[in-house]
């Protein structure tokens, strides 16, 4: 499901600055054990983690792992333990890749655990921030870390049900707006991570005056703070309400399906978040964006 | 504490202010916007907007005559860079005819308005998902005067932000319309109902899978399906009890009336009634409902008494007892409900 869009910026290819960066983003810290058996990590090790969704990814021939991420963009209850962070940092040192901690939109009570987590990170580690407040804390208190704007901050319409590309143009993204660039600069953010949206095109990343990474092969559609699955073991008044500890049921179960009678993108829900899986046209468009130098990193992650 | 209410026509100003609203918010699609940009997306809602600048001016005049303020929603989650100048012009015009504040989510637009329309107050929309003190400080630094907190926060979180940042006005949801996903991280549109409506109540047919990729074990599946049934019931409440009203005309939930005493004590500046697209009568009844509770708080009634009153106003306390009709269920009053009156 791709179509041609008309970016306002130049669509001149950027000369590739070198091989594309390749990351894998892991949410469930228990799965670190599977990675730990690798003395070195390869692109196949990353792709293998995607199961049958690996067919929805096209990587350049020279793409090899450069980054490894741990943590959730979507849930305050999935912040990795400091022990897991230590293990992941050690693995990255062994593999010779950069570690990144992924962080969600935060409530105030998450800031102390976040500070404890940041304190474990080596200089130069990345922090994927999805909350402006978290970005401020990283900049002010952990200047040795490198904040990356996560895809929750790179707003764009991503409704897989849209009947046509015309609908998708109703709210264009503002990623090229001057103030956006300036605000990210002021927060010390040097990189942007984005999704590939339904009805997107390769050149949607052209002219963004920032190094861009794309998540593949799943985009997220919507995320809430209320979690159906996380309420499984709760009762009223905690059930279906914010801020309550869950049992991380989302790491054990997900939902997959579609709207009856449609041929839309494969859709799934894990915990509080809905995802679509990239169709072949989307995979090809990302590969085109990489080839043109508009995207300099691919971050593989599940749904 | 003030009541902030939605309007979509000038005729709604007087009844809403007379019912107790001191702040009104509205949207407008200027006549040349669609011609210039081939989209009606000036704000988050395609419908429920005023008919043009003449109506906007009437709204402001009427509201100011009645000592109420008017806020303009420019609250799309994001705008293209090609829209920023036009939006800034809209905001400048709004200010020039006496408008009081713009409700904005997009950080580029906030920065643009601060720079170019400095005497127009900025209220950070709930769509910006600002729900911690550090984030509120970030928006304050950009020029915001008020933070409208998103729906799914706890009263303790609201109180902490309001207490920590007395220089900012804090607004919290109190009534109507319940998104399931956070507005700032739901990248969908409300399709017409014949195309699916809001995605959170669209007809997705999902099947559970365990982490192995296979179907869950039978026992787990039974628990998941029971949870799904509870969730459907919660969804029914989340969407105003199936988009209905109480027999006495008051709107159903989501509702935060029981939390109002705590929010008042914490110094929350305003409570927000959602629903620009709703019928005028629903808006008026919503304001009446909230105003009745606010009046009792301001009269110094004890919190327990206020909450007892709140659950009695719709004359159907069993719905309150379900715990699913609340924005802030931790604050719900728990009346004794006779068994025969309990919800199925």
Residue B78: which of A174, A254, A259 has the nearest Cβ? A174
pLDDT at position A148 is 98
Residue B336 has pLDDT above 80, yes or no: no
Residue B124 has pLDDT above 50, yes or no: yes
For the stretch A52-110, pLDDT in tens is: 999 999 999 999 999 999 999 999 999 999 999 999 999 999 999 999 999 999 999 99
pLDDT at position B31 is 82
Average pLDDT over every residue of B260-276: 97
- What's the pLDDT band for A8 if we cut at 50, 70, 90? very low
Residue A133: which of B39, B132, B187 has the nearest Cβ? B132
Neighbours of B102 (CB within 10 A): 26
Residues 6+ apart with CB under 8 A from A37: none
Q: Which of residues 6-25 of A touch B (CB under 8 A)?
A: 8
- Please report the domains of chain B, with CATH numbers, ordered by start residue: 2-191+236-341 (3.20.20.380)
Closest by alpha carbon to B167, among B267, B306, B255? B267
CA A73 → CA A27, A47, A297, B180, distances in Å? 9, 20, 18, 18
The answer to whether B134 contacts A260, with C-beta atoms less than 8 Å apart, is no
Within 8 A of A232 by CB-CB distance, chain B residues are: 223-224, 227
The answer to whether B186 contacts A222, with C-beta atoms less than 8 Å apart, is yes
Distance of residue B119 Cα from the nearest chain A Cα, in angstroms: 19
Task: Please calculate the CA angle B125-B130-B133 and round it to the nearest 5 degrees.
Answer: 135
pLDDT at position B39 is 80
Residue A251: which of B185, B202, B211 has the nearest Cβ? B211
Is residue A258 within 8 angstroms of chain B, CB to CB? yes
Within 8 A of A272 by CB-CB distance, chain B residues are: 181
SS (H, E, C) A77-119: HHCCCHHHHHHHHHHHHHHCCEEEEECCCCCHHHHHHHHHHHC
The answer to whether A133 contacts B181, with C-beta atoms less than 8 Å apart, is no
Distance of residue B15 Cα from the nearest chain A Cα, in angstroms: 34
Average pLDDT over every residue of A132-156: 98
The answer to whether A241 contacts B186, with C-beta atoms less than 8 Å apart, is no
The answer to whether A239 contacts B157, with C-beta atoms less than 8 Å apart, is no
For the stretch B147-184, pLDDT in tens is: 999 999 999 999 999 999 999 999 999 999 889 999 99
Is residue A177 within 8 angstroms of chain B, CB to CB? yes
The answer to whether A286 touches A295, Cβ cutoff 8 Å, is: yes
The answer to whether A122 touches A142, Cβ cutoff 8 Å, is: no
Within 8 A of B189 by CB-CB distance, chain A residues are: 157, 159, 162, 167, 170-171
User: ipTM of this predicted complex?
Assistant: 0.94
Chain B, nearest residue to A155 by Cα: B78
With H, G, I as helix, E, B as strand and everything else as coil, classify residue A224.
coil
- What's the pLDDT band for A11 if we cut at 50, 70, 90? low
Residue A151 has pLDDT above 80, yes or no: yes
pLDDT at position A2 is 40
Question: Average model confidence (pLDDT) for chain B?
Answer: 94
Residue B323: which of A169, A171, A236 has the nearest Cβ? A236
Distance of residue B22 Cα from the nearest chain A Cα, in angstroms: 29
The answer to whether B189 contacts A162, with C-beta atoms less than 8 Å apart, is yes
- What's the pLDDT band for B334 if we cut at 50, 70, 90? low
The answer to whether A158 contacts B188, with C-beta atoms less than 8 Å apart, is yes
Mutate to test the interface with B, among A179, A223, A227, A249 (most CBs of B within 10 A): A179
Is residue A115 within 8 angstroms of chain B, CB to CB? no
The answer to whether A222 contacts B329, with C-beta atoms less than 8 Å apart, is no
For the stretch B284-304, pLDDT in tens is: 999 999 999 999 999 999 999
CA pair distance B157, A276, nearest whole angstrom? 32
Within 8 A of A274 by CB-CB distance, chain B residues are: 181, 199
Mutate to test the interface with B, among A130, A133, A199, A262 (most CBs of B within 10 A): A133
The edge-to-edge listing of strands for the beta sheet with A253-258 is: A218-223, A273-277, A267-270, A253-258, B205-210
CA A145 → CA A88, A100, A124, B183, B189, distances in Å? 16, 9, 5, 30, 36
Average pLDDT over every residue of A160-165: 94
pLDDT at position A4 is 36
CA pair distance A25, A50, nearest whole angstrom? 11
CATH, domain range A21-222+278-301: 3.20.20
Residue B80: which of A106, A172, A222 has the nearest Cβ? A172
Chain A, nearest residue to B75 by Cα: A171
Least confident of A13-27, A31-45, A223-237, A272-286: A13-27
For the stretch B55-97, pLDDT in tens is: 999 999 999 999 999 999 999 999 999 999 999 999 999 999 9
- What's the pLDDT band for B335 if we cut at 50, 70, 90? low
Within 8 A of A177 by CB-CB distance, chain B residues are: 79-81, 84, 108
Within 8 A of A178 by CB-CB distance, chain B residues are: 81, 108
Burial code (b: 16+ CB inside 10 Å, e: under 16) for B114-139 equals beebeebbbbbbbbbbbbbbbbbbbb
Distance of residue B335 Cα from the nearest chain A Cα, in angstroms: 14
Write out the two tokens for A147.
């904040």
With H, G, I as helix, E, B as strand and everything else as coil, classify residue A298.
strand
Residue A13 has pLDDT above 80, yes or no: no
The answer to whether B204 contacts A257, with C-beta atoms less than 8 Å apart, is yes
CA A46 → CA A40, A41, A266, B210, B213, distances in Å? 11, 8, 22, 21, 18
Within 8 A of A256 by CB-CB distance, chain B residues are: 206-207, 209
pLDDT at position B317 is 86
Mutate to test the interface with A, among B134, B215, B219 (most CBs of A within 10 A): B134
Distance of residue A39 Cα from the nearest chain B Cα, in angstroms: 25
pLDDT at position A5 is 41
For the stretch A290-300, pLDDT in tens is: 999 999 999 99
With H, G, I as helix, E, B as strand and everything else as coil, classify residue B224.
helix
Distance of residue A50 Cα from the nearest chain B Cα, in angstroms: 12
């Amino acid at each position: 499901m791709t179509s041609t869009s008309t970016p306002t910026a130049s669509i001149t290819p950027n000369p590739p600055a070198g091989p594309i960066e390749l990351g894998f983003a892991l949410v469930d810290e228990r799965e670190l054990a599977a990675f730990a058996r690798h003395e070195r990590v390869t692109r196949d090790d990353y792709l293998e983690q995607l199961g049958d969704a690996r067919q929805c990814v096209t990587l350049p021939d020279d793409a090899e792992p450069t980054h490894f991420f741990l943590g959730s963009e979507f849930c305050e209850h999935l912040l990795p333990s400091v022990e897991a962070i230590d293990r992941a940092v050690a693995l990255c040192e062994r593999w010779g890749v950069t570690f990144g901690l992924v962080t969600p939109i935060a409530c105030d009570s998450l800031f102390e655990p976040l500070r404890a987590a940041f304190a474990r990170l080596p200089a130069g580690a990345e922090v994927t921030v999805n909350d402006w407040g978290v970005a401020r804390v990283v900049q002010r208190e952990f200047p040795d870390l490198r904040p990356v704007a996560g895809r929750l901050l790179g707003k764009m319409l991503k409704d897989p049900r849209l009947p046509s590309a015309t609908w998708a143009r109703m709210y264009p993204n503002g990623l090229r707006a001057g103030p956006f660039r300036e605000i990210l600069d002021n927060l010390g953010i040097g990189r942007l991570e984005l999704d590939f949206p339904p009805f997107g095109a390769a050149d949607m990343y052209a002219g963004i005056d920032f190094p861009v990474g794309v998540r593949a092969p799943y985009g997220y559609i919507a995320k809430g703070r209320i979690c159906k699955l996380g309420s499984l073991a709760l009762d009223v008044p905690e059930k279906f309400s914010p801020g309550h500890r869950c049992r991380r049921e989302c790491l054990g179960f997900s939902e997959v399906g579609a709207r009856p009678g449609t041929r839309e993108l494969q859709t799934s829900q894990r915990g509080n978040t809905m995802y679509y899986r990239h169709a072949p046209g989307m995979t090809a468009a990302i590969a085109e964006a990489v080839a043109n130098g508009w995207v300099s990193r691919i971050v593989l992650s599940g749904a | 504490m003030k009541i902030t209410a939605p309007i979509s026509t000038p005729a709604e100003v007087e009844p809403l202010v007379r019912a107790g609203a001191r702040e009104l918010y509205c949207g407008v699609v200027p006549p040349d916007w669609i011609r210039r940009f081939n989209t009606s997306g000036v704000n988050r809602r395609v419908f429920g907007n005023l008919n043009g600048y003449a109506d906007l001016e009437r709204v402001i005049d009427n509201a100011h005559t009645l000592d109420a303020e008017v806020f303009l929603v420019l609250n799309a989650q994001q705008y293209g860079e090609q829209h920023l100048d036009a939006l800034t012009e809209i905001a400048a015009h709004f200010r020039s005819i006496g408008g009081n504040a713009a409700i904005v989510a997009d950080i580029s637009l906030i920065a643009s308005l601060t720079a170019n329309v400095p005497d127009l107050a900025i209220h950070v929309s709930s769509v910006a998902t600002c729900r911690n003190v550090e984030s509120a400080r970030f928006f304050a630094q950009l020029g915001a005067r008020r933070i409208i907190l998103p729906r799914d926060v706890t009263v303790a979180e609201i109180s902490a932000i309001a207490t920590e940042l007395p220089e900012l006005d804090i607004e919290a949801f109190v009534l109507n319309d319940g998104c399931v996903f956070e507005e700032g991280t739901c990248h969908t549109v409300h399709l017409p109902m014949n195309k699916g409506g809001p995605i959170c109540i669209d007809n997705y047919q999902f099947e559970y899978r365990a982490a192995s990729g296979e179907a869950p074990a039978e026992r787990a599946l039974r628990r998941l399906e029971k949870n799904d049934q509870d969730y459907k019931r919660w969804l029914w409440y989340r969407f105003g009890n199936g988009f209905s009203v109480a027999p006495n005309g008051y709107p159903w939930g989501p509702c935060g009336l029981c939390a109002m005493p705590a929010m008042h004590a914490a110094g929350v500046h305003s409570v927000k009634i959602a629903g620009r697209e709703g019928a005028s009568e629903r808006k008026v009844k919503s304001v009446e409902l909230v105003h009745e509770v606010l009046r009792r708080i301001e009269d110094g009634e004890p919190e327990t008494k206020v909450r007892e009153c709140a659950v009695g106003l719709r004359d159907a306390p069993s719905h309150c007892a379900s715990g699913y009709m609340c924005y802030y269920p931790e604050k719900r009053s728990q009346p004794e409900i006779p068994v025969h009156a309990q919800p199925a």
